[in-house]
Amino acid sequence: MARAFSTNVQAAIDSGSAEFFMLIKLSFNSTYNLTSLPYDVVYDGDTYTSDGGLFEVSSPRFSSVVDREAYRVVIADNINQMLAEFKANVVGHDISVKLGFMSPDGTPHLDTADVLDIYNGTADSPSISNDLEQRLAIIEGTSPMADLDFVNVFYTSKDGMDQRSATDTSFDDIYADHEVSIKWGKV
């Protein structure tokens, strides 16, 4: 199944020299709308600011295999705004990255049909890098396959089942030295 693009997006792609911009929404304890454009823009009712310190964004990557590649956004954090957010815990908060295209006259296409969703996920591994010249907030978004690492412990014991349901008796006979005779094969 081929992905359908709006007329403006298809024209930009077909031109062979498409210029694009990013729109990033970080829904942390406060919401941050950032753009890679050199000026602020309004998209879908929200103002995306150009002076929010957007430093680096992972390139869009399409994959035909199931992998665990995470998405990364780097923001210059000169006033410790992101550090304060990280201390208040941003893990699990939403991250949205959109890709827009410029028209031939240099204006951005900001209609919702002309802007592509390239990443929607949650913050997973926030960190601060400080090399005395600049402080960078590195936000790693979860991979769609991040749940493959999830470990859910379940104890197969009477007490373990009682923690889930006091009326379930399926594990009542699970304990050491309990023998059960089972008829095997044809009876």
Query: What's the pLDDT score for residue 97?
Result: 92
Query: What's the pLDDT score for residue 144?
Result: 59
Q: Is the model's pLDDT at 1 over the cut of 60? A: no
- Average pLDDT for 162-166: 77
Give tens-digit pLDDT for 68-112.
Answer: 567 889 998 878 889 999 999 999 899 999 999 998 888 999 999
What whole-number distance in Å separates Cα of residue 145 and Cα of residue 68?
Answer: 5
The band of 118, judged by pLDDT with boundaries at 50, 70 and 90, is: confident
Nearest Cα to 23, choosing from 108, 99, 120?
99
Cα atoms in the Cβ-side hemisphere of radius 13 Å centred on 41: 20
Give the amino acid at 184: W
- Average pLDDT for 18-30: 92
Residues paired with residue 26 on neighbouring β-strands, in sequence order: 32, 95
Q: pTM of the full predicted structure?
A: 0.71
Query: What's the pLDDT score for residue 33?
Result: 95
Q: Is 12 helix (H, G, I), strand (E, B) or coil?
A: helix
